[in-house]
Amino acid sequence: MNVQQHHLEEYKERKRWWETNWSNVEFSPTWRISKIPPEVQDAVDSGWFSPRASVLDIGCGTGEIAAWLAQQGFKVLGIDYSEAAIEKAKLAHGEIQGKLDFKIVDICRQHLTSPRFNCLIDRGCFHNISQAVSSDYVKTVASWCIPNAKFLLLYATTRGSRLEF
């Protein structure tokens, strides 16, 4: 197996891991939020995320941030490559046509031919992507952006055994 095949298999295995975990009814990730992160709140309050903008929530999980942004007047698409996570987001928050939608999307593989988002947020996706596909992530994210889009990337670092944002 060559290096590229190895990275592809590693990527597929990571995707299966997420699907298995999100499919487990008892799965409660340690990073699940109980309140909106201050960085997201500030992006909205300061106008850095333009009022009524279209927002892409990358790796939305169960959709807490996407739903909150929709409540603030944004048009939001929450995406995750886990079908189980998207099902949980839809059950928890519902969907509102043109206001809040959730879709299964692999942000490393599904390019858009016509960009449509002027604000993007990633709180927990990029730091879980292997270096082997990180350039795919960057290219794909760029394909989803209109010119001069704002991108809020909250990147976890490890300190001991805790993830910190």
39 neighbors 164 (Cβ within 8 angstroms): no
Instruction: Looking at the structure, give the CATH architecture of the domain made up of residues 3-164.
Output: 3-Layer(aba) Sandwich (3.40)
59-88 pLDDT per residue, tens: 999 999 999 999 999 999 999 989 999 999
Structure tokens at 115: 């960009």
Rounded CA-CA distance 21/152 in Å is 26
CA trace torsion 84, 75, 93, 27 (10° rounding): 40
140 neighbors 109 (Cβ within 8 angstroms): yes
Tell me which of 97-111, 122-136, 137-151 is least confident.
Answer: 122-136
Write down the pLDDT at residue 87.
94
Q: Three-state secondary structure along 13-30?
A: HHHHHHHHHHHCCCCCCC
Write down the pLDDT at residue 12.
81
Domain ranges of the chain: 3-164
Structure tokens at 159: 């300190």
Q: Which of 34, 58, 37 is nearest to 108 (CA)?
A: 58
